[in-house]
Amino acid sequence: MGRLLLHAPNVHVGGGLVLLKELLAAQDGASLWANLDHRAKAILSLPAGTESHFVKASPIDRLKAELRLQHAARTDDVILCFHGMPPLLPLRGHVVVFQQNRNYFGLTPLSEFSGKTKIRVAFERIVCRAFKGNVNEYVVQTPSMRTALMTWHGANPPVRVIPFIGAMAGTSPEADANVRDGYDFVYVADGEAHKNHRRLLAAWILLAEKNIRPTLALTLPPHCRALRAEFDSASASHGLHIEQLGVLPHADILALYRNAKALVFPSMTESFGLPLLEASWANLPIIASELDYVRDVCVPADTFDPTSPVSIARAIRRFLGVAEPVASIGSAADFLAELRS
């Protein structure tokens, strides 16, 4: 039986990093060769005997990693491209792409991105389409992700659904789930366009206009300067209670789930939705988009139309128990009387 060759040169933050750590921890002495992101070197624990190579975030280093992978691969090896992109060079062995990023196959319009991010995503989409012939198989975590991927590329190469999360799956939090003295709502997400932060902000402004001001914690990274500034400006203008926590260690995120009152999750698309699973395990109510990816992994307490700030705001009101008045419908005679008044 051959080795596992793990190619993960751009996995260093977020849910991908959490899953990568679980994957490494599950290696029971099996032979492992790995290209890993240099930015994750200090936080990854590698199994004994791993032949590891750390790749810097530069085009030259990435190309060297591709060449090193081609040189290392043998016909009986399994090559797992954990960063979601196909190898640039044809490889001996069975090449599997673990696909977690829906942006790679165009489900979010490029117009939703800006600046360097738009250029990067456009390039990544070109690479994914141009080099998919180097892939023997795709692996995804949910049925809806399989459907989306097959719509993009057809049924060749095949797509398998193999969900995994790791050691904490199915465990219950030690804290009393009824003691929730933290934020009213948390949204654990980066600033990518499909995470839909701007409509969430618009919903919070609508709530404030009705003098409803729940607390909200965000985990936007420091590099999302424009988006963070929008939240700060709106908070000052409308008296919103929104706190920017920045990027948190995973243990702090789990503590956040245990103490908050609900997770709000307006994302337009997800490959897996790790925060939804972790919130479920913490018995945290989930208010989320009414989309397939949500119900693939959890049972939300309430849902909304993620394209509508009004729908998001109404779901928040329902969760808070704040009734919303409905229109008073009169008769045609009432209409004419009002028209003439």
How far apart (Å, rounded) are the C-alpha atoms in residues 146 and 133? 18
Helices 309-320 and 197-209, packing angle to 10 deg: 60
pLDDT digits (tens, 9 = 90+) for 184-228: 999 999 998 889 999 999 999 999 999 999 999 999 999 899 999
Banded model confidence at residue 60, pLDDT cuts 50, 70, 90: very high
Banded model confidence at residue 279, pLDDT cuts 50, 70, 90: very high
pTM of the predicted structure, to 2 decimals: 0.73
Strand order across the beta sheet in which 286-289 lies:
241-244, 215-218, 185-187, 263-265, 286-289, 302-304
Q: 4-161: which CATH architecture?
A: 3-Layer(aba) Sandwich (3.40)
Residue 42 structure tokens:
């200090």
How far apart (Å, rounded) are the C-alpha atoms in residues 325 and 220? 34
| Residue ranges of the chain assigned to CATH 3.40.50.2000 | 4-161, 185-320
How far apart (Å, rounded) are the C-alpha atoms in residues 23 and 5? 12
Q: What CATH code would you report for 185-320?
A: 3.40.50.2000
pLDDT digits (tens, 9 = 90+) for 82-124: 999 999 999 999 999 999 888 887 767 787 777 787 888 899 9
The mean pLDDT of the chain is 89
DSSP structural state of residue 177: T
pLDDT digits (tens, 9 = 90+) for 157-190: 899 999 877 554 444 444 444 556 789 999 999 9
Residue 148 structure tokens:
């989306």
Q: What radius of gyration, in Å, describes the C-alpha atoms of the chain?
A: 23
Q: Give the per-residue SS3 of 203-223.
A: HHHHHHHCCCCCEEEECCCCC
How far apart (Å, rounded) are the C-alpha atoms in residues 214 and 229? 20
